[in-house]
Structure formats: structure tokens, C-alpha cells
Amino acid sequence: MTVQIGDRIPSANLTRATDDGPKPVTTDEIFAGKTVALFAVPGAFTPTCSARHLPGFKDLRGEMTAKGVDTIACVSVNDAFVMGAWADSQGIAKDEIIMLGDGNGDFTRQLGLSMDAKGFGMGERSQRYSMIVKDGVVSQLNIEQPGEFRVSSAEHLLAQL
């Protein structure tokens, strides 16, 4: 079943890209007591994700924090090394956007937001989405239709704050 507005984010383990290498982190650590803008991409270094999705959140970070967002986090079914290298290639400081690896896709499956990208040689991946999570509860949820990039954008999410 797909996560819905009003649902609590499931307890899961992710891996955060840090300057000291990958660091395990739980969803409780990420979401408890905070307002988090979370967005997911099908893959680091992929065209839309690199040209528009991640840069949009970087560019609008200040406006989001001014509207009460404590943390911006990006998750992908990639490992933390890839997420860290992608952040570096995009000029993202580790404290600007938390880059989360969901290497096995466990968190993504728990949300009901996985997709089959085997036709593209990518295996199981995350759908493209964005959400606002307040103290672990989803308050806004924007899931893209396959091949689209509109409702998960930073601009769309900012307008919902």
C-alpha cells in the first residue's frame, strides 16, 4: 500500500553520505521533532534528477527554511557513496541537503513507492516524489506519473508550505 497524507513514516535504516563516509541513520533520527522536505529520485546522476530535481531544492533551500523546513533530504535507491559523489558533483554541502542512500530499496518498498526500472537496466528504483513530513507524519505528498517532472519539484513543494 502506498503511503498517504496522515501516515507515519515507517521505521527504516538508511545510509547518509557524510564527509567521513557512509553513516547509518534511522528514519526516527531524520524525522522526529522536525519538519522535513523529502524528495526521491529514480537515480543519482540521471538527467532530470541532475539537471532539475536536486538543483531546484538546492536553489530554494533558503526559502524553504524561511517557511519552517528544518531539513531537506534526498533519497534514492543508490548507495551512500554514489549519493555523496552526486552531491559533490552538484556542489551540495553535506549540511545543505541530507543525501540518503536506500541501497536495497527497503525504505522505498515500505512507502509503497518502488518501481520496476529493469527495462532501463536500473533494476528496482524509487518513483519520483516529494513530501513534507512533520514530526514523522506525512502532511504533503506529491507522486509523479511515470516520465513526468512537475509535482515533485522544489517549486511545487515550496508553494505547499
Q: Which of the following is catalytic: 49, 72, 73, 92?
A: 49
Interacting residues of 18 by C-beta distance below 8 A, sequence separation 6+: 84, 94
Phi-psi domain of 62 (left: phi exceeds 0; alpha: psi -120 through 50; beta: other): alpha
Report whether 20 contacts 26 (CB < 8 A): no
- To the query of whether residue 74 is one of the catalytic residues in this protein, the response is no
Give the residue numbers marked as catalytic: 49
